Amino acid sequence: MDIKTNVLKNEEIAIFKLRQLYGKYGYSQYKMSKFEEYDLYVRNKDFLVSDSIITFTDTNGKLLALKPDVTLSIIKNTKDTGNYVNKVYYNENVYRISKGSHSYKEIMQSGLECIGEIDAYNIYEVLMLAAESLISISDDCVLDISDLDILSDVIDNIGISAENKKNILKCVSEKNTHEIANICNSENIPEDKCNILKKLVLTYGEPNKVIKTLEEDIAPYTKKENIELLKTIIVALENNGYGSRVRIDFSVINDMSYYNGIVFKGFINNIPTGVLSGGQYDKLMKKMGKKSRAIGFAVYLDMLERFNETDKIFDIDTIILYKDGDDLNSLNDTIKMLTENGKSVMAQKSVPADVKYKQLLKLNDKGVIIIENHA
pLDDT tens per residue, range 164-186? 999 999 999 999 999 999 999 99
**Mean pLDDT of the 208-221 span:** 95
Q: Is the pLDDT of residue 141 over 80?
A: yes
Helix 120-137 and helix 224-239, axial crossing angle in degrees, nearest 10? 40
Q: Which pLDDT value is given to residue 65?
A: 77
Q: Which pLDDT value is given to residue 184?
A: 96
220 pLDDT band, cuts 50/70/90, is: very high
Q: Do residues 360 and 371 lie in contact, with contact meaning Cβ atoms separated by under 8 Å?
A: yes
Mean of pLDDT over the chain: 87
Q: Which pLDDT value is given to residue 248?
A: 97
CA distances 125 to 25, 230, 272, 308, Å, are 9, 13, 27, 29
Helix (H) or strand (E) holding 345: strand 345-348
Pairing type for strands 141-147 and 367-373 reads unpaired
Nearest to 215 by CA among 205, 224, 202: 224
Q: Is the pLDDT of residue 290 over 70?
A: yes
- Alpha-carbon gap, residue 220 to 222, rounded angstroms: 6
Question: What share of the chain in percent tops pLDDT 70?
Answer: 91
Task: Give me the DSSP letters along 153-199.
Answer: HHHHHHT--HHHHHHHHHHHHTT-HHHHHHHHHHTT--HHHHHHHHH
Give the phi and the psi of residue 355 in degrees, each rounded to 5: -100, 120
Q: Do residues 363 and 322 lie in contact, with contact meaning Cβ atoms separated by under 8 Å?
A: yes
Q: Which pLDDT value is given to residue 284?
A: 92
pLDDT tens per residue, range 322-375? 888 888 888 888 889 888 888 889 999 899 988 888 889 888 777 777 777 876
Whole-model pTM: value is 0.78
Q: Which pLDDT value is given to residue 329?
A: 87
pLDDT tens per residue, range 234-289? 999 999 999 999 999 999 998 888 899 999 999 998 888 889 999 999 999 998 89
Angle at CA 236, nearest 5°, toward 235 and 239? Answer: 85
308 pLDDT band, cuts 50/70/90, is: low
Beta partners for 277? 265, 298
**Mean pLDDT of the 123-132 span:** 97
pLDDT tens per residue, range 63-111? 877 777 788 889 988 888 778 899 999 988 877 766 555 677 777 889 9
Nearest to 100 by CA among 302, 267, 332, 239: 302
Nearest to 287 by CA among 71, 124, 89: 71
